[in-house]
Amino acid sequence: MDILNGLNPEQRAAVELPAQSALILAGAGSGKTRVLTTRIAYLISTGQASPHGILAVTFTNKAAKEMVTRLSAMLPINTRGMWIGTFHGLCNRMLRAHHREANLPQTFQILDSGDQLSAIKRLMKAMNVDDEKYPPREMQWFISGNKEQGLRASEVEAYDPYTRRKVEIFAEYDAQCQREGVVDFSELLLRCYELLSRNPPLREHYQQRFRHILVDEFQDTNPLQYRWLKLLAGANNALFAVGDDDQSIYAFRGADVGNMQELLRDFHVESVIKLEQNYRSHGNILEAANALISNNRNRLGKNLWTSEDGGEPLRVYEAPTDVEEARFIVEEIQQLKRDGVKLTEIALLYRSNAQSRVLEHALVSAGLSYRVYGGLRFFERQEIKHALAYLRLMENTDDDNALLRIINFPTRGIGARSIEQLQEAAKQHNTTLFDAAARAGGKVSAFVALIESLRGATRELPLPEIMDHVLEHSGLIAHYQNETGAKKRESEERLENLNELVNAATLFVHEAEDDSLTAFLTHAALEAGEHQAGDSEDALHLMTVHAAKGLEFHTVFITGLEEGLFPHQNSIDSDGGLDEERRLMYVALTRARRRLYLTFAQSRMLHGQVSYGMASSFLRELPDELLQWLSPRFVQRNTFGAFGRATHASASGESFGAPVPRPASDTGLWRSGQAVFHTKFGEGVIVNLEGSGADARVQVNFRKAGVKWLALEYAKLTPL
C-alpha cells in the first residue's frame, strides 16, 4: 500500500497491528504523528473502520489540524465529520449533541479563564465572602483542580471550617453556572464523563461507534481524562495510545505518567512497540540523552538511535558569572550567524523564566533580534509591571496609569465604584488621581499613605535597596508567597522574577554608573517594548524547556545548568521530582538537531547579592567522551570533584587531574566562589572567609548539608 511507503519496520509494525489495544512508545523525533495518522488511514483503507467510526484525541488544536491535513493528503475522504480533536473539543461536541441528557441548554456557553474568574467574583460578592480571606483566583484554582480530579463539591473532603467554606462556594458556583447555562473548561470533561457513566444506553452507543480510539501524547493525560477514555473504550474496543514516558514533564498540570502502566494492566496490552529511530538529531546528542535518562526509575525503557553519524560533540562552557555566560552565548550566536545559520534556527532554553532577563539584556546590547516563545519578555511580565508601577508612582505621583494599576493590587478592598468616584473627583477638580486620592478617606487614603511611606523610607537608599524595600513593603512579595492551589508553581516563578528585578537594578548601577531611580525606569521602558522581533523577522527563540517540547532547532543552548537551578531546588526536595527534572533535561537535549551547548556559571546574582553555585548533577550523567569543554583556563577545573569520572582539558590542551590537597589553615590558598570537597559534608562552594592563622574560618554552602562555618585548621577541605 502506498501509505506504508517510507515507514521503518517498527513504524510499519505499529500501523499494521490487529484491532487490539496497544502502546506505542515513541521516542523524541521518531515520527509519532506520522504513525498515528498512517494508522487511521490504514484502518480506513483496509475497511476495518469507517471515517466516522474512529475517535482520535490530541492535546492541542494545532496537532489535531495537522493530523486532519495529513490524513486528507493520504486518502480521498471527507474529514469534516471525523471525530479528531482535543479532549475539551470532543467533549464539547458530545455535550452539544446530548445537551438534554447532560442537563444543559442547547446554546450553553463556555467560560474562558477570565470569564470564570469574573463569575466567581460576582458570586462571592453576592455571598458576602471576604475576598482577602478567600482570594477569587485561589477559589478558581480550587474549583478547577477538584473538577480535574473528577470531584464535585459534595465529594471534596473538608476537615476544617476554612475548607468547608471553600466547598460551599464551589457548590454555589456550580449552581450559578447551571442557572445561567454556562460551563467552564474543566466542567466540559467532567460533565461529559458523568453523562457517559450515568447513561448506559448512550455509553454503549458510542462504544459501538468508536471501535478504534487513538490517543496522542498519552503520557500527558490526567486521571479524569484516562477514566473518560476507559469509559469510551469499554471492554472490547481498541485503544491505540502513543506516548513517551521519558517526556512526561507536566505533573504540575495534573498529568500522571503512571497512566501508561495503568493502560498496560487495564487493557491487557500485549503489544508495546518502541519507536527508537530518531530522524532529528545527530548521534552524539542522542547518546547523551540516552545516558542521562537511563538514571530514572520505573521507565518502560527505550534507546534512541540514528542512521546519521555522531556529529559534533556537546559544547560545555563554564562561565565565572551569569553575565559572562550570556556574553559567551551572544558571541557564539554571532559566529553561527556569520557561518550561515539563521537566527530562527537557534534556541536559548532555560529552566526558569527569571533567567531570561540577563540573556535578553545581552541580546539587546548586541543588537540581536529575538522572540520569547510561549511567554512575555521580562519587563512585560505582570509582576514586573506591578513592581515598576509602584516605583513610577513614587517617582512621579502624576502618573495616573501607574496608580490605576496598583491602587488595588495586592487587593486592599478598593472596588471599581471607588475608583470611578476617584476619577470623577479628579476630573471635577482638574487634578491628578493621586491628588484626588489624597483628599479621599478610608482605604484610598491608606493607599496614598503607603506610597508616601515608601517614598520617605527609600529617599536615601541605593537603587537595589529601594527595589528590595518596595517589593517587601508594597505587599507584592507576601501576595505571591501566600498564593496556593493549582497556580502555586506560577506564583513561585513570579517571585523569582521579582528577585531578578533586584538583580537587574544591581547590574544597571554597575554598568550605567547611575544610581537614580529615574534612569533605571527609563532603561526598563526602553528594554520592554523595542526588541521583540516581528513574525516575519529572522530572530532567535528564547523559551523555558517546558515551552520547547515538540519543537526542534539546528542549534540549542541549554543555560543555567547549576544545581538548584536545573535541576530546580523545589524538585530536588520533592518525592519523584528529580526524575521529572531529568525528563525535562532529556526534552531539552533532544530539541537540538546539529549543535548543542551546555552552559553554567560559577556565580549568579540572586536578590541583588552574588550567589555561588555548583555545576548541575545532570552534567555528571553525560559521558565525558561526548563533551568538548570551551571554558577559559582561569575557570577550568574538575567540575565534578570527587564524584567525577574523568578529567577534562582546557582550551590549550592542558589536562586537569585529581584535586591536590592544600594546607587548610593557609587562607591565601582559598577564595570565595571556590568549589571544594569535604569528607563528611561532600561538595560545596566557599561563600565567605574570615580571620587568619589558627583563627581562620571558612563558610561553605554544601549541596546536601547546607551552609556551615568551619575552622580552616580542622576543615579537611579539598579544592575541586
How far apart CA 601 and CA 615 sit, in angstroms, is 8
Measure CA 579 to chain center. 16
Active site residue 217: yes
Edge-to-edge strands of the sheet including 717-719?
A: 706-711, 697-702, 682-690, 675-678, 717-719
CB 693 within 8 A of CB 665: yes
Cell digits of residue 702: 554544601
Active site residue 115: no
Four-CA torsion 140, 383, 472, 495, nearest 10 degrees:
70
Write the DSSP symbol of residue 267.
Answer: T
How far apart CA 684 and CA 673 sit, in angstroms, is 10
Q: How many CA atoms lie within 13 A of 700 on its CB side?
A: 27
- What are the backbone dihedrals phi and psi of residue 367, each rounded to the nearest 5 degrees, phi first? 70, 30
> CB pairs under 8 A, 24+ apart, for 171-174?
172/123, 172/127, 173/119, 173/120, 173/123, 173/139, 173/143
Rg (CA), the chain: 29
Q: Which of 591, 595, 604, 637 is catalytic?
A: 591
Q: Which of 32, 166, 604, 637 is catalytic?
A: 32
- DSSP lists the bridge partners of residue 182 as 109
Q: E strands along 225-381, which residues? A: 238-243, 271-275, 314-321, 346-350, 370-372
How far apart CA 416 and CA 407 sit, in angstroms, is 11
| Alpha-helical segments (H) within 313-410 | 322-338, 356-366, 382-395, 400-406
Cell digits of residue 364: 539587546
Identify which of 393, 329, 323, 321 has the alpha carbon closest to the alpha carbon of residue 611.
Answer: 321
How far apart CA 237 and CA 230 sit, in angstroms, is 10
Identify which of 14, 41, 9, 39 has the alpha carbon closest to the alpha carbon of residue 25.
Answer: 14
Active site residue 187: no
Cell digits of residue 45: 483503507
How far apart CA 436 and CA 426 sit, in angstroms, is 5
Q: Which of 116, 225, 247, 674 is catalytic?
A: 247
Identify which of 355, 357, 361 has the alpha carbon closest to the alpha carbon of residue 327.
Answer: 361
* Amino acid, res. 86: T
Which residue in the block uniquely carries the three cell numbers 465529594?
155
The backbone region for 656, taken as left when phi is positive above 0, alpha when psi lies in -120 to 50, beta otherwise, is beta
CB 358 within 8 A of CB 328: no
Query: 271-275 and 22-26 as β-strands: parallel, antiparallel, unpaired?
Result: parallel
Identify which of 36, 42, 62 has the alpha carbon closest to the alpha carbon of residue 241.
Answer: 36
* Amino acid, res. 483: E
Q: What is the largest CA-CA distance in the chain?
A: 87
Which residue in the block uniquely carries the three cell numbers 477638580?
429
How far apart CA 194 and CA 190 sit, in angstroms, is 6
How far apart CA 498 and CA 390 sit, in angstroms, is 13
CA distances from 267 to 57, 245, 342, 408, 592 (A): 18, 18, 47, 53, 36
How far apart CA 124 and CA 145 sit, in angstroms, is 19
* Amino acid, res. 291: A
Active site residue 432: no
Identify which of 277, 282, 327 has the alpha carbon closest to the alpha carbon of residue 303.
Answer: 277
- DSSP lists the bridge partners of residue 707 as 701
Query: 212-215 and 54-58 as β-strands: parallel, antiparallel, unpaired?
Result: parallel
How far apart CA 216 and CA 226 sit, in angstroms, is 12
Q: Which of 10, 216, 256, 322 is catalytic?
A: 216
Q: Which of 33, 178, 261, 421 is catalytic?
A: 33
Q: Which of 217, 244, 468, 563 is catalytic?
A: 217
Active site residue 33: yes
Task: Give the residue numbers marked as catalytic.
Answer: 32-33, 216-217, 247, 591
